[in-house]
């Protein structure tokens, strides 16, 4: 959520700067670029790192539970 909210906040600050310093549309353009860059950086930081991906891939799956196999044998399907 915060990754998406940063864009309108940055655009609002850019718009405010345009109104204060009569620099339209430079502040809005700079705010848009900075907001998009901040959102992109936040999204990239949220994804797992290569080390975490390799660590998760190295963990073998858990073996099947033997109690589940027994319960299937007791209730045969017609």
Predicted confidence (pLDDT) per residue in 4-19, tens digit: 899 999 999 999 999 9
Predicted confidence (pLDDT) per residue in 6-65, tens digit: 999 999 999 999 999 998 899 999 999 999 999 999 988 888 887 777 777 777 767 777
Q: If you ran DSSP here, which 8-state letter would residue 23 be given?
A: -
What is the pTM assigned to this prediction?
0.62
Q: Residue ranges of the domains in the chain?
A: 1-48
């Amino acid at each position: 959520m915060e990754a998406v909210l940063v864009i309108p906040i940055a655009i609002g600050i850019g718009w405010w700067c345009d109104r204060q310093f009569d620099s339209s549309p430079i502040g809005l353009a700079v705010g848009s670029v900075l907001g998009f860059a901040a959102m992109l950086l936040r999204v990239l930081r949220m994804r797992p790192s290569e080390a975490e991906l390799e660590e998760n891939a190295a963990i073998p799956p858990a073996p099947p539970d033997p109690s589940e196999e027994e319960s299937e044998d007791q209730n045969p399907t017609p």
